[in-house]
Amino acid sequence: MESMTTQRILSETVKYLLLGVLVILFLFPIFALVMASFETGQNLMRYGISFKSLVPKTFDPKNFVALVTTRDGVYLTWYKNSIILTALQASMALAFSSFVGYGLGVYHFKGRNLIFILVLAVMLVPVQILILPLYKLMTAMGIMNSYLGVVAPFVVSPFAIFFFRQYSLGIPKDYLDAGRIDGLGEFRIFAKLTAPLMGPAYGAMAIMISQQAWNGFLWPLIVMRTGDKFPLTIGLNSLLTPYGNNYDMLIAGSCAASIPIIIVFFFFQRFFISGLNAGGIKG
C-alpha cells in the first residue's frame, strides 16, 4: 500500500512536470509577442525575436502611442471596423441561426430531415472554395467594399443552427402549450418564452461567432478594397510590404488586437468549451 501511494505521487509529479513544460512552450509565443511590443521595429526587422527582446530594458509604451498617432490614427479606424463587423455578424448570425435551429428542433414538418441534412452538409463545405462565385455575387449586388459584403455570407451560421437545434430539443413541449393557452402566436412564444430559455446557448454561440468574425481574414481580404474599410486583420497584414515591414506598429497592434479576445476567454471559458463540444455531439 505504502509503495503504491509513493509510486502514484511520483507518476503524478512526472505528469505535471511534463505538462508544465508543454504549457510553457505553448504560451511562449504569446509572451514573446508581448515583450517584443516594447522592442524597436528596427531590431525586430534585423534579428527577429531574440532572447534580448524577451527582456525589454524599459517598458516604454512608445509603440502603443504610435498606434494612435501614425497615419492619423488609421489603427483606430481598423479597430472600429473590426468592432462594427463583429457586432454586426454576431447579432445577425445569432438572431437568424437561433430562429432556424429552434424551428428545426421543436417542430415536426415535412422536409425537416432534408433541411437538417443540408445544414450538416454545408458545415463541411469550406467557404474558401466558394470565394470566386461569392465574389461575383457581391459585385453583382453592389456590396463590395462594405460591411454588408463581409457579413452577408455568414449571417446564417450552419454551425450555430446545429447548436441551437440540439439545445432546443431539450425544451419541454409544455412551454409551447402554455404559451398557446395564453393565446400567444408561435413567434411570440419563441420571442417571449423559449428564446430566453436558451440563454446559455446564446452565450456560447455569441463567443464562437465573435471570435470568428474578429479573426476573419480571407473573406474581408477580398471584399474590403480601401484602407479606411479594413478590419484589424487586414490592416495589420497591410503593414507587411515588400519595401520593409512596419514592425513597430505590427507587433504592438497585434497585441492590442488580441487582448480583448483573451480577456473575454477568461471570463467566459465555459461558453467557449461548450461551443466546441457541440461539434462533438453525434448527429
Partner 1 sequence: MRTASYFRTYRLVPYVFVLPFIISFCAFYAYPLVSTIIMSFQKIIPGQTHFVGLGNYRKMISEDFWQALKVSFEYTVITILILIPGPTLLAALLNSGLKKLNAIYRAAFFIPSLVSVVVAGTIFRLMFSLTGRAVVNASLGFLFGVKPIDWVMGGAWQAMLLMVMLATWRWTGVNTVYFLSGLQSISTDLYEAASIDGAGPARQFLSITMPLLKPTIIFVTTISIFGGFAMFEESYMLWQGVSPNNVGLTLVGLIYQKGFQLGDLGLASAVGLVVMLVVFVLAVIQLNLFGFFRKED
79-138 positions binding partner 1, by CB under 8 A: 96, 99-100, 102-104, 107-109, 112, 115, 118-119, 122, 124-126, 128-137
- 152 versus 201: smaller Cβ distance to partner 1: 152
- 10 versus 23: smaller Cβ distance to partner 1: 23
Q: Work out how close the CB of 26 gets to partner 1 at its nearest, in angstroms, rounded to a whole number.
A: 6
Chain-centre distance of CA 113, in angstroms? 29
Please state, in angstroms and rounded to a whole number, the distance separating the CA atoms of residues 218 and 10: 48
Among positions 48, 73, 172, 196, the unique one binding partner 1 when judged by CB under 8 A: 48
Please state, in angstroms and rounded to a whole number, the distance separating the CA atoms of residues 191 and 184: 10
Query: Taking each helix axis from N to C terminus, what angle separates 74-106 and 247-267, rounded to the nearest 10 degrees?
Result: 30
* Interaction between residue 211 and partner 1 (CB under 8 A): yes
Chain-centre distance of CA 198, in angstroms? 20
Please state, in angstroms and rounded to a whole number, the distance separating the CA atoms of residues 177 and 193: 11
Hey, which residues between 221 and 280 contact partner 1 (CB under 8 A)? 222, 232-233, 236-237, 240, 247, 250-251, 254, 257-258, 261-262, 265-266, 269, 272-273, 276-277, 279-280
- 103 versus 201: smaller Cβ distance to partner 1: 103
Hey, which residues between 133 and 172 contact partner 1 (CB under 8 A)? 133-137, 152-153, 155-156, 158, 161
Of the candidates 180, 210, 201, 26, the one whose C-alpha atom is nearest the C-alpha of residue 99 is 201
Chain-centre distance of CA 148, in angstroms? 18
